[in-house]
Amino acid sequence: MAERAHALSTVDGYSGYGAEQGEKKLRAAIAATYYADSGIEETDIFVSDGAKCDISRLQVLFGSSVKIAVQDPSYPAYVDSSVIMGQTDLYQQDVQKYGNIEYMRCSPENGFFPDLSSVPRTDIIFFCSPNNPTGAAASREQLTQLVKFAKNNGSIIVYDSAYAMYISDDSPKSIFEIPGAKEVAIETASFSKYAGFTGVRLGWTVIPKELLFSDGHPVAKDFNRIVCTSFNGASTISQAGGLGCLSPEGLKAMQDVVGFYKENTDIIVETFTSLGYNVYGAKNAPYVWVHFPGRNSWDVFAEILEKAHVVTTPGSGFGPGGEGFVRISAFGHRENIIEAARRLKELYK
């Protein structure tokens, strides 16, 4: 990135607008690195300034008259962007849900995968795997069910794979590993959690050319229009960083970073398990989802903050299905994780 920044000050190295969809080399590298076996091509990749931004651009694509489904609990940006686009009805205080959103409960009882036979049809299904906050990664069989469900209903899946590199078991790292997914799914991804690019701003979205609206028009063509009108591409300097990430050294460095945080995860899991709590997630994600049965998430959050001076995230912030849980993040320095573990053991001994 430093080299690219310097190069911008030279006649040969300067570059201006475009391509809005991302540099050809980076699109090709993403396709080759993450989608070599699934038939996704360079031209299906849209480089972005992050998954969060692309989620909102996708919502602009879908417009205000669609109905979405989300996992409950889930990353708040799906619901929030739906509210902003005017897709929802009023917030219902009693159930802590917005009207006209389908909340698909994901709990220990159903293995954090919704019972699709009881889920009504929606236009769009946001599905995050490995899930933020629960850390659950859907299995191949579950994703096969999901793709079939979307196909039968004429729904579009927006599959958020921002944590895919954290997968340790044989769960699919991309929805496009599932046969038929290219006709029903969009995938959004990010360098944020692999390379610490949260401030650099770089991600991508895959819209296969096989994904069509019911009138046969390719979804990618309309998204391309939005990318060109409402966005002008990720910073060229950030894109140079993306190319660095996908070089052999970069891939190795990202694996090391992911491995480091997974060690942090193990420390957190050991802490709560030894205290007798049920913990979920963790294996395929940088998040540990700790159950405090019968307790209010915010009360647990406040207790840990005030008594141990450790910051966690109350589960109910991710939807009503998160009530009674707290999300513990593994993104931290090792000494801080160890110290937090010590204090938590002291607090709950």
Q: Name the residue nearer to a copy of itself (CB basis): 108 or 244.
A: 244
Amino acid letter, residue 136: A
Cβ atoms of 239 and 47 closer than 8 Å: yes
Decide whether 241 or 321 has the Cβ nearer to a copy of itself.
241
Find the shortest distance in angstroms from Cβ 250 to a copy of itself.
12
Q: DSSP readout, 269-282?
A: HHHHHHTT--EEE-
**At its nearest, how many Å lie between a copy of itself and the CB of residue 329?**
12
Nearer to a copy of itself, 84 or 347 (CB): 84
The per-residue DSSP string of 86-143 comes to T-S--EETTTTEETTEEEEE--GGGTTS--GGGPPP-SEEEEESS-TTT-PPPPHHHH
Q: Decide: 272 and 330 in contact? Cβ < 8 Å.
A: no
Interface ranges with a copy of itself (CB under 8 A): 1-3, 5-6, 8, 14-18, 49-50, 52-53, 55-56, 60, 63-64, 77, 80-81, 84-86, 196, 198-201, 225-226, 229-238, 241
Closest-CA residue to 279 (of 271, 269, 287):
269
Reading the block at residue 244, the tokens are: 């660095």
| Residues 130, 136, 140: CA angle, nearest 5 degrees | 75
Please tell me whether the peptide bond between 73 and the residue prior to it is cis, using omega within 30 degrees of 0.
yes
CB of 209 to a copy of itself, least distance (A): 21
User: What's the min distance (Å) between Cβ of 129 and a copy of itself?
Assistant: 21
Minimum distance of a copy of itself from residue 190's CB (angstroms): 10
In the bound state with a copy of itself, the residue whose beta carbon lies nearer, of 6 and 140, is: 6
